[in-house]
């Protein structure tokens, strides 16, 4: 069976790594090709993750780079179509919800190639999020929908998806977390920054809804600077956030050391370094999807700076608090966490480090059933 695995942007790498590893255990049954669209291209947004996660170099890099949504999506589709025509895969696997996910799904389906979506069924119901559009388009087209939790299954069923397209397998991002937790721990990043465990917090922020509007970004950074009067903050800056903060004249909130009232910023970090910091943090402030899940497993409180989440399981079972982007509310919840005792959340069903193995078993089972039907 010939399979193309697709990656494009930072969160995809953690999701594909365990799938590739699981496929490598079936060399007689699966021949797999890794295609990187090149949506993310800076070494600290892409290559660093290949190095940290031990993923071999992509077989193909489409090198599409940045652009408007239409430009980027179109460039991926044009380049990926050529690969599909040359390679003629039996199956394309896409992960997550970035532009590469949707673009490769549409391209493959129009060529009559089957597509499987890993992390299917997540819904924020917020159509101002580009990722929600990507998720909806991808799921409506994909043949096989691998889900992480009961909310995703319910969403797909409510949209009329037949049961035989839905497979509850767990969470591949958590496979990677378990696989690399000890290695990350040994890096001991807090001590490299001179920080004590549980006496600092980490931040990520890059959603257009938070960082593209000067007033909103100013309000959020102001809340962070208030928190930074109480506790050191570590903030690896996404390129979009860095560019906007500079052009809006907001760099005065930042510092390259732990000054009280200012946020320590730096280049984006590799997977292991950031995991090492997050596992010992007092709390994580973020608008990322993946971090809501990782903090749930790490038992670290997460403040999500968004009005909604496509990952409600992290609030139902885990350590996630949805606070939106109101500066007062962000500070209020952070203050509560800083003064309170940690409440340990639970672990969602099947977030056990074996999701990728289940996916590969399922794919082989589907292939077997199809082959029997033909004979």
Using CB under 6 A as the criterion, which residues of the chain lie in contact with ligand UD1 when the complex forms?
9-11, 39-42, 45, 66, 97-99, 130-131, 206, 238-240
- Of 180, 153, 154, whose CA–CA distance to 168 is shortest? 153
Measured distance CA(274)–CA(294) in Å, rounded: 11
CB of 266 to ligand UD1, least distance (A): 15
If the CB atoms of residues 45 and 338 are measured against ligand UD1, the closer one turns out to be: 45
Q: How far is the CB of 11 from ligand UD1 (least distance, A)?
A: 5
242's enclosing H/E stretch is helix 239-247
Closer by beta carbon to ligand UD1, 204 or else 225: 204
Q: Which of 32, 36, 40, 206 is catalytic?
A: 206
> Rounded to the nearest whole angstrom, what is the least distance from the CB of residue 343 to ligand UD1 in the complex?
27
In DSSP terms, 284 is beta-bridged to 202, 302
Kindly state the smallest distance separating residue 236's Cβ from ligand UD1, in Å: 11
Q: How far is the CB of 140 from ligand UD1 (least distance, A)?
A: 18
Sheet holding 91-95, edge to edge: 60-61, 31-36, 2-7, 91-95, 114-120, 144-147, 166-168
206 in active site: yes
Shortest gap between Cβ of 311 and ligand UD1 (angstroms)?
A: 13
Q: How far apart are CA 157 and CA 155, in angstroms?
A: 6
Encode burial over 280-319: b for 16+ CB neighbours within 10 A, e otherwise: bbbbbbbbbbbbbbbbbbbebbbbbbbeebbbbbbbebbb
CB of 79 to ligand UD1, least distance (A): 15
* DSSP code per residue over 66-103: ---HHHHHHHHHHHHHHHHHHH--SEEEEESSSHHHHH
Token pair 């139902």 is found at 316
Give whichever of 49 and 146 is closer to ligand UD1, judged by the CB atom.
49
To the nearest 5 percent, what fractions of the chain are helix, strand and coil? 50, 15, 35
Find out whether 139 and 112 touch, Cβ atoms under 8 Å: no
**Nearer CB in complex with ligand UD1: 99/107:** 99
Residue closer to ligand UD1, measured from CB, 276 or 286: 286
CA distance 204 to 94: 24
Strand ranges in the chain using DSSP code E only, listed in sequence order: 2-7, 31-36, 60-61, 91-95, 114-120, 144-147, 166-168, 201-204, 233-236, 254-255, 263-266, 283-286, 302-304, 320-322
Contact status, residue 321 vs residue 292, Cβ threshold 8 Å: no
Smaller CB separation from ligand UD1, 135 or 282: 135
Nearer to ligand UD1, 66 or 196 (CB): 66
What gap in Å lies between CA 40 and CA 328, rounded to an integer? 34
By annotation, the residues acting in catalysis are: 206
């Amino acid at each position: 069976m010939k399979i193309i695995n697709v990656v494009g942007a930072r969160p995809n790498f953690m999701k594909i790594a365990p799938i590739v590893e699981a496929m490598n255990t079936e060399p007689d049954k699966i021949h797999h090709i890794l295609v990187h669209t090149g949506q993310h291209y800076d070494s600290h947004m892409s290559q660093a993750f290949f190095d940290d996660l031990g993923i071999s170099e992509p077989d193909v890099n489409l090198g599409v780079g940045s652009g408007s949504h239409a430009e980027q999506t179109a460039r991926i589709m044009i380049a990926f179509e050529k690969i599909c025509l040359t390679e003629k895969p039996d199956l394309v696997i896409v992960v997550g919800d970035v532009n590469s996910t949707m673009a490769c799904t549409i391209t493959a389906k129009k060529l009559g190639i089957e597509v499987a979506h890993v992390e299917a069924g997540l819904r924020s119901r917020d159509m101002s999020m580009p990722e929600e559009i990507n998720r909806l388009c991808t799921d409506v087209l994909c043949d096989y929908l691998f889900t992480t939790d009961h909310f995703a299954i319910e969403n797909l069923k409510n949209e009329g998806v037949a049961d035989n397209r839905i497979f509850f397998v767990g969470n591949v991002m958590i496979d990677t977390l378990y696989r690399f937790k000890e290695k990350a721990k040994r890096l001991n990043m807090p001590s490299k920054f001179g920080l004590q465990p549980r006496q600092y917090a980490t931040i990520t922020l890059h959603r257009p809804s938070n960082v593209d509007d000067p007033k909103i970004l100013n309000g959020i950074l102001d809340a962070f600077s208030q928190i930074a009067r109480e506790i050191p903050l570590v903030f690896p800056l996404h390129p979009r956030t860095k560019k906007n903060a500079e052009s809006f004249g907001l760099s005065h909130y930042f510092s390259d050391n732990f000054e009280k009232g200012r946020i320590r910023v730096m280049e984006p970090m590799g997977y292991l370094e950031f995991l090492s910091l997050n596992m010992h943090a007092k709390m994580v402030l973020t608008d990322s999807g993946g971090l809501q899940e990782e903090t749930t497993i790490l038992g670290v409180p997460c403040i999500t700076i968004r009005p909604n989440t496509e990952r409600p399981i992290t609030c139902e079972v885990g350590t996630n608090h949805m606070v939106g982007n109101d500066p007062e509310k962000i500070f209020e919840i952070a203050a509560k966490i800083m003064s309170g005792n940690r409440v340990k959340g639970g672990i969602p069903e099947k977030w056990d480090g074996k999701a990728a193995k289940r996916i590969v078993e399922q794919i082989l089972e589907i292939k077997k059933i199809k082959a029997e039907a033909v004979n």
